[in-house]
Amino acid sequence: MDRIGIGVLSHAHGHSNTYCQQMLDFPDVRLVANWDDNARRGQAAAERYGMTYRSDPRQVVGDPRVDAVIIATETNRHADYVELAAAAGKAILLQKPMATTLADCDRIIAAVQRHGVKFSLAFQMRHDPVNQKIKELLDAGAVGKVAIVRRRHSINVLLNPNFVNGDTHWHVDPVANVGMFFDDATHAADWFYWMLGRPRSVIAEIDNIVTNVAPDDNGVAVYRFGRGEMGVLLNSSTTVGSIPTTEIYGDQGTIIQDYGDQVSAWVPRPEGVAPLRLLHAGDKAWTEFHLPIPKSQGERIAAVPRPFVDYVKGLAGPAVTAEEGRVSVEMVLAAYQAAREGRRVGV
């Protein structure tokens, strides 16, 4: 394919706009058509990105110029539109989380398999060069046997009235999106799965602590992984700022990551700062990795479309498969169950 034709099904999730803006500069992409049940929002996006607005999503997936679709509806509607796009033979980039229920995750997996379409989840953390280096170090055994990993994923959206009351209000609707821990801890859950594999159990605390505008605003989940490792997932929707993102402690070393999530991206960083450090047992100084740090969370999100386009063109594999996407949903839903029941839950 010389140029990939892209269609968009809904701009409910604002990341779709970042993807479109980024792809405007891709010489091998043509933004063709979009649909949104909010006509005002959809028509504005169509005008902004040079697409044709359609009043029916079937007109987008039925357009022969469209090779692939971006699905960014409310989370609880994902399965319906994946089935629609897959039946039309379109490649799919699905906004995370994959779905609000495991049953809907299974519908998505079945549709992708039945129609043999290309599919990927939009997890921008997998495209961050610092996270990729952490994965490389862990796979190489850089810290020996891993004992405990802490990963913080934080934003401050519940302190933002525009987020709570604007078009993004659906994020705080428990039917559309379960809760804010579900919405954002899914990123960190996928990161843990990518780094350490599938966990076997979880205990958790998830609650509203400083706000009452969403089903929850802060949470901590402790997962146990296949070799006994503990993974502490800290997720907050009310964090004003912070620097440390990841700590990994093993019997032969330590890895520390800074500036790795949204609130860190808002904090002015000193010139020449290293986002990643490694200390081996016996070393007298940290080894610093001066890797590129995304300047903003928007820059991280903008890293998603290029690998997807390359995947559609047959130049790369999927960033996150449908089967992998189900795991992060299972991990977060298990954390909710553990918090609700006050006990350890199998994953």
Statement to judge: residues 64 and 147 lie in one domain: no
The pLDDT of residue 110 is above 90: yes
Distance, CA of 192 to CA of 144 (rounded, Å): 17
Last residue of a domain, one of 92, 117, 142: 117
3-state secondary structure at position 345: strand
In CATH, what number is assigned to the domain containing residue 40? 3.40.50.720
Domain-embedded: residue 306? no
**Are 188 and 87 in contact, with CB atoms under 8 Å apart?**
no
Decide if 113 is inside a domain: yes
Task: Tell me what the mean pLDDT of segment 192-220 comes to.
Answer: 97
Residue 304 inside a domain? The answer is no
96 and 162 together in one domain: no
Residue appearing with tokens 């820059």: 299
271 and 289 share one domain? yes
Q: Do 263 and 337 belong to one domain? A: yes
Q: Is residue 134 part of a domain?
A: yes
Residue 315 maps to a domain: no
The answer to whether residue 225 scores a pLDDT higher than 90 is yes
Could you list the residue range(s) of the whole structural domain that residue 37 is in?
4-117
pLDDT at 1: 62
Give domain status of residue 302, yes or no: no
Global pTM value:
0.95
285 lies in a domain?
yes
Q: How many domains does the chain have?
A: 2
262: CATH? 3.30.360.10
Looking at the structure, do residues 24 and 84 belong to the same domain, yes or no? yes
How far apart CA 55 and CA 85 sit, in angstroms, is 16
Give per-residue pLDDT as tens, 4-40: 999 999 999 999 999 999 999 999 999 999 999 999 9
Helices 305-312 and 15-23, interaxial angle, to 10°? 60
Percent of the chain beyond pLDDT 90? 90
Neighbours of 109 (CB within 10 A): 19
Mean pLDDT for all residues in the chain: 95
Q: Find the mean pLDDT for residues 299-315.
A: 95
Q: Which of 117, 135, 160 is the last residue of a domain?
A: 117
- SS3 of the chain: helix, strand, coil, percent, to 5: 40, 25, 35
